[in-house]
Structure 1
């Protein structure tokens, strides 16, 4: 029987190559994961040509807020029934504009169901928004393109989200402290040059994620030598 003895230097080289290969694999996995994380974060920023939606209650009374929620549910269901929102701004704008009469009828019917003594107004154009936050990012007050549905005097808290691109049809909601801006006139619709709102919690910063991965990588390498 022959017993083979391998030089100790060969064993060290094997472990060195193993460490390099594993470290490279972890590094590539880290880059891929970070790329997906960064891409997801970027997609949550409202683009400049976004089209928003605001449904503004007549007042802040419990009843008027209930009416607003009912209108929101009806309008959201109708919009979802349109199918996938076009990826092009002009086509999305055209789709919304072609359904304005449908939405107006839905709003009228819902207000009639609740037997209120006020009307609803559906319009698409540049409308005033106060300062807003969306997923941790602040957006300055200004005029932004939106589908606006004003119920009665429009002095109550509003519901809002982003129709184009379809970022939050039923998820993101916010309330305006300055609801009076809702009564301002609407300008002709065209792509806006700024963005707006949101209330969801801010995502963890990428640097924290990277630091955790680096710590794990260091601990792994150290373990190979222990």
Structure 2
């Protein structure tokens, strides 16, 4: 059993190495701050979508994002100011633990991922996240539909077994396969 768990953890680590997660943290849980978080999310995604459209790798995407951090902060800060708030905005790359998450046709296992994070104000409210690369944020934010390009990228970069683990397999949700990681996720928190 420990060997299987170790194998799943290695698979999760490889999957994580092929993605750039996006994480936006609201100032607080007030309705106004939660609405502001979504406005910032939308503006930043609108800004990044054309910049990342031609990206062909995780490394290239990270360089594009990092090289535009000043502009990203300006975009977010403008949304905050236009909403009548005076919160400071921070944006940076970090490595953090994410729970198991469904994105339309795929399910990403819980684990450690690189993420580009935007903190609004004290960043003490509920947060929102998606995947910037491959671009799972850009297709349909409600249903997180995976584009054909994103699907091809994942098929090329992941092993067939890893790809099978993150995609719905014959109608079965992948989260069942990662129940041990989900348990460990709860244990670690």
TM-score range for the pair, normalised by the shorter chain length: 0.5 to 0.7
**TM-score in terms of structure 1 length:** 0.52
| TM-score of the superposed pair, with normalisation by structure 2 | 0.61
Cα distance between partner residues in 1 of 2:81 and 2:87: 9
Q: Which residue of 2 aligns with 1:51?
A: 20
The answer to whether the 8 Å contact 1:85/1:166 transfers is no
2:97 is the alignment partner of 1:132: no
Cα deviations across residues 178-206 of structure 1 (Å, max 9, x unaligned)? xxxxxxxxxxxxxxxxxxxxxxxx84616
Contiguous gaps of at least 5 residues in structure 2: 1-14, 143-166, 173-189
Aligned partners of 1:83, 1:159: CA distance in 2, in Å? 20
Partners in 2 of 1:83 and 1:90 — Cα distance?
A: 11
Does 1:115 pair with 2:84?
yes
Report the equivalent of 2:65: 96
| Equivalent-residue separation in structure 2 for 1:206 and 1:139 (angstroms) | 17
Highest CA radius of gyration, 1 or 2?
A: 1
Distance 1:87 1:170, change over 3 A: same
Is the 2:45–2:137 Cα contact (8 Å) retained in structure 1? Answer: no
Q: Give the equivalent residue in structure 1 for 2:43.
A: 74
Query: How many residue pairs are counted as aligned between the two chains?
Result: 134
3-state DSSP of counterpart to 2:38: helix
- CA–CA separation in structure 2 for the residues paired with 1:141 and 1:101: 29
Deviation at 1:76, TM superposition (A): 1.2
Tell me how far apart the structure 2 counterparts of residues 108 and 101 of structure 1 sit (CA, whole Å): 10
Distance 1:48 1:107, change over 3 A: same
Q: Indicate the SS of the match to 1:162.
A: strand
Q: Offset of 1:48 from its aligned partner? A: 2.9
> RMSD value over aligned CA atoms?
2.8
Q: Any idea what SS the aligned residue of 1:86 has?
A: coil
